[in-house]
Amino acid sequence: MLQEHEIIPYHLSSPPGERILVFAPHPDDETFGCGGTIRTLINAGKKVKVLFLTSGDKADPSDHRSKLIKTPQPLPAGQAGPSYLKREEIEEALLPDGAKADHITEYSLMRETEAEKALKILGVADYMFMRFPDRGVYNQHEDILHKLLAISEEFSPDAIYAPSMVELNPDHRAAAALAGELQRSIRPSGAGNAPTLKAVFYEVTTPLRPNILVDITSVYNSKKKAAKRYGSQLKLMDYVRHFTALNAIRALTVNGPRYVEAFWLVERPLTDEEIIAWLSFTQEESGKVKGD
């Protein structure tokens, strides 16, 4: 039978990574899930790049599909923004590979604008809207992985932060799978073949079994302020109350901090059996699956 200290840390750790990719399946996941840690990393001079896999169009309560789109940023095709595009024009301009663009709506682009405002508060200047279909990350796995590999080759991350595989939303779980796939695919240059890329799984809607606890007390107000930039989502649910409660309960086993973010740091690719053993509390922490 595992003891308490084998299930959850009783000490704080510094957040892993010098060059960090953060996977946000939707605009807001990065802030609600690990916004305090992102701010902490930025304050420490680390390089953080946030990748929004989708722009969250399916959260639109009206499911309104406007024919007139306002783009909040320069277009990938080299056109100057902001600009206005009709539905038939946006398919070619935003998705030159021919993919359907029905999910690029005024609502999804509004969520991107909210994300830009939130990231500014967190101090993140490097980010990308990948604009894959909301709730379709699993179905687009190979295409997304291909693009993530290209981004990683250019950015050279040593850590990837992603929602965990026990999250409720399917895009969150698919993002966890992509992080694991990227970890298996990327090898360091030079002698040997041991991977140096760390996978760091964070909590959004579902607590996981962590091995890293990060004190975010000093930056909690920045996280809360950034979260409030996602006004469209806070109208749907009081996410600030939820993540505040989670960050407060995560301080249970450490002395002093008021707010803590919890992570599962995985330093090498794991088998499905190892993942199940860890998450089901049947495997204690070892040198193979460890934190600080």
The predicted-structure confidence for 150-194, as pLDDT tens digits, reads as follows 999 999 999 999 999 999 999 999 999 999 999 999 875 544 555
The residue that leads in pLDDT, 84 or 8, is 8
CATH number of the domain at 160, please: 3.40.50.10320
On whether residue 291 sits in a domain, the answer given is: no
Dmax (CA) for the chain in angstroms is 61
On whether residue 122 sits in a domain, the answer given is: yes
Least confident of 54-58, 85-89, 176-180, 196-200: 85-89
Q: How confident is the model at residue 87 (pLDDT cuts 50, 70, 90)?
A: very low
Compute the distance between CA of residue 290 and CA of residue 7 in angstroms, rounded to an integer.
12
Co-location of 35 and 167 in the same domain? yes
Compute the distance between CA of residue 269 and CA of residue 72 in angstroms, rounded to an integer.
38
Residue 69 has pLDDT above 60, yes or no: no
Co-location of 159 and 201 in the same domain? yes
Co-location of 257 and 210 in the same domain? yes
Co-location of 200 and 238 in the same domain? yes
Q: What is the pLDDT of residue 192?
A: 56
Co-location of 163 and 81 in the same domain? no
Average pLDDT of every residue of the chain: 87
| Domain span at 80 | 66-101
Residue 67 has pLDDT above 90, yes or no: no
Co-location of 34 and 137 in the same domain? yes
As for how many domains the chain has, the answer is 2
Q: What is the DSSP string of 14-71?
A: PPP-SEEEEEESSTTHHHHHHHHHHHHHHHTT-EEEEEEEE--GGG-TT----SEEEE
Co-location of 135 and 84 in the same domain? no
Q: What is the pLDDT of residue 80?
A: 35
The residue that leads in pLDDT, 154 or 66, is 154
The residue that leads in pLDDT, 150 or 95, is 150
On whether residue 288 sits in a domain, the answer given is: no
Co-location of 171 and 53 in the same domain? yes
